[in-house]
């Protein structure tokens, strides 16, 4: 399936000069959405993850159905102040600013095999913070999955430097 053709390009969002990749045109196409999740699941399954961790909010629309399809748990990574129980948090630089991300301290135990997932790999800031949070809890990141990779922002190099060369980074669509 032509997944790339299902992504809409929006110029100058959220700021001038940015060509925003809009995934809602893929999500609303049931056949394309299911095929995209299934294609990621096929690549992820051999990594034997026990948990999918994904940052809010668009990471949820990729990570949650992957977890459902694999029959494993989903752990939401959220902005500070959103999770109700005890959390650990990390600051991070995102593509258009700075923020903090948090995870519940009891989200999973040490040694749990965790796959991190988001809609988009840009500079790698958001997913890097997600990896940091997983590792703070003693989790083992077994790989990463994205719908889209913006190759010109070199997030793959940044993420590989963090995870090591042996951890697969899967992205279904490259721009």
User: Which residues belong to the active site?
Assistant: 58, 95
Residue 105 and residue 87 in contact, taking contact as beta carbons nearer than 8 Å? yes
- The Cα-based distances of 7 to 36, 51, 77, 120, 172 in angstroms read 12, 27, 24, 12, 12
Determine the interface stretch with a copy of itself among 13-21, 127-135, 139-147, 151-159 (rule: CB under 8 A).
13-21
Parallel, antiparallel or unpaired: strands 73-79 and 97-104: antiparallel
**Contact between 166 and a copy of itself per CB under 8 A:** no
Shorter beta-carbon distance to a copy of itself: residue 62 or 169: 62
One residue of 70, 122, 134, 145 binding a copy of itself per CB under 8 A: 70
One residue of 7, 40, 44, 65 binding a copy of itself per CB under 8 A: 65
Shorter beta-carbon distance to a copy of itself: residue 115 or 159: 115
**Contact between 135 and a copy of itself per CB under 8 A:** no
Torsion angle of alpha carbons 162, 154, 90, 47, nearest 10°? -50
**Contact between 146 and a copy of itself per CB under 8 A:** no
Helix (H) or strand (E) holding 61: helix 58-70
The label of the residue with tokens 């650990």 reads: 88
Cβ of residue 165: shortest distance to a copy of itself, in angstroms? Answer: 29
Residue 78 and residue 107 in contact, taking contact as beta carbons nearer than 8 Å? no
**Contact between 96 and a copy of itself per CB under 8 A:** no
Helix 58-70 × helix 30-44 angle, to 10°: 60
Can you give the binding site for a copy of itself, defined by CB under 8 A?
8, 10, 13-14, 20, 22, 24, 27-31, 33-34, 37, 50-51, 56-58, 60-61, 64-65, 67-76, 78, 81-85, 104, 107-108
């Amino acid at each position: 399936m032509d997944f790339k053709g299902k992504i809409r390009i929006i110029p100058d969002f959220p700021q001038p000069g940015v060509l925003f990749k809009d995934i809602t045109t893929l999500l609303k196409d049931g056949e394309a959405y299911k095929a995209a999740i299934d294609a990621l699941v096929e690549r992820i399954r051999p990594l034997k993850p026990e948990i999918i961790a994904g940052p809010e909010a668009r990471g949820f629309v990729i990570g949650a159905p992957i977890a459902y399809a694999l029959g494993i748990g989903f752990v939401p990574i959220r902005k500070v102040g959103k999770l109700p129980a005890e959390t650990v948090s990390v600051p991070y630089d995102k593509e258009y600013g700075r923020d903090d991300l948090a995870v519940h301290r009891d989200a999973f135990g040490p040694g749990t095999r965790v796959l991190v997932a988001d809609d988009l790999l840009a500079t790698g800031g958001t997913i890097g913070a997600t990896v940091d949070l997983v590792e703070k809890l003693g989790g083992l990141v077994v790989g990463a999955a994205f719908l889209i990779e913006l190759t010109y922002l070199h997030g793959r190099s940044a993420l590989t430097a963090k995870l090591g060369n042996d951890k697969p980074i899967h992205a279904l669509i490259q721009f």
